[in-house]
Copies of this chain bind each other. A is one copy, B any other.
C-alpha cells in the first residue's frame, strides 16, 4: 500500500523525526544517518504526502485566483504570469472562473477560503464592497487584482489607464476629430469607470462633442460589441476609443467587414492585449494602449505571498500604468506631438 514516513523510519532504523528532518533539512543529521534514510527512501519509493503535510503545518502552498473570464486573453495571460511566478516559489495555483457572475464569485470565495488555499487573489465582479467583504474570513490573506473597490481595506494591484486615455482623446482632438465615441466594458467595474472618467475629462477639456449616446457599454455577451459599434457609427463618430482589449479584435474585424478604413474613415484608439499580433499589424493605422499584464501578474503574486508570509506587513495599494503607443504618424503632423 501507501509508503509512509514510518516505513522509511523502520527500514532506516531511525525515528520518524529524523526522517522528517533529513527530508526538510530542518536540523542537523549525521552523514551516515542521512545516507541510510536516503537509501530507505529510494528503496521504498517514498514521496511525502502533501496532504498530510499541509494539514499538519496549516500551509497549503496554494493560492486561489478568482477570475471573471479565463478565456479572455487579458486574464489568461494574467493566469500565465501568475502561475509562473508562484511555481518558481513552490506555490500552486487554483483557479475559479466566475463568468462575471456574482453568485459564482460568492460560492468560489467561500469554498476556496475554507482551508483550500493560503490566500486569495480576486478580480471581483461585485458591485458593492460589503457583499464582498462579508465573504472573507477574518485575517484571511486577500489581494484584489485589476479591479478594486472604493474602500481600501484589502491590498490591491491594478492598472491605471487614465493618462493614456486622456492623452489619446486629446490627440484625436488635435487631429481634428469632433465626435469621439467610447466603448467600454460593464459599467459597474472600477476599470470601466476609470477609463470613462478619463475620456469624459478629456472630452470636456478639449471641447469635443459631449453626448450621452457617444458612450456605449458592452457586456461581453452575445454580439454586444457589434451593437455598440453600430450605435456609435450612427452617431457619426470620427474617432473611437475602444477601452477594452476583448472588444478590440471584434471592432477591427467589423470595421473591416463594413469597409470602413481605420485611420481614414475613422480614427481608432484601442486597448490591445499583450502579445497579440494586432499589435504589429495595426501599429501604423491606430493608436494602442497596452496594459502591463506581466507586471500585474508578478506584482499580484508578490503581494499575496507577502500577506501570507508577513501578515503584519502594511496593506498596499499598487497602481501600474498602461503604455500609450501613438501610431507612426504621417510626416505632416509629426510636430504636433510632444
Contact = CB atoms under 8 A, between A and B. Distances in A.
Interface of A: 47-55, 58, 60, 62, 69-71, 73, 76-77, 79-80, 83-84, 87, 92-97, 104, 108, 111-112, 114-116, 137, 225, 249-250, 253-254, 256-257, 275, 277-278, 281
Dominant secondary structure at the A interface = helix
Contacts of A94: 62, 92-95
Given A70-B80, A253-B281, 4 more contacts: A70-B83, A71-B76, A73-B76, A87-B108
A245 to B, nearest CB: 13
A268 B303 CA distance: 47
A39 B86 CA distance: 40
A238 B93 CA distance: 46
Nearest to A137: B47
Nearest to A97: B83
A213 to B, nearest CB: 24
A92 B117 CA distance: 11
A114 B50 contact: yes
Contacts of A256: 281
Nearest to A111: B92
A30 B188 CA distance: 47
A85 to B, nearest CB: 11
Contact of A95 (B60, B93, B257): B93
A47 B277 contact: no
A77 B84 contact: no
A38 B94 CA distance: 30
B52 A115 contact: yes
A95 B96 CA distance: 11
Given A92-B111, A94-B92, A114-B48, A71 B73 contact: yes
Contacts of A60: 51
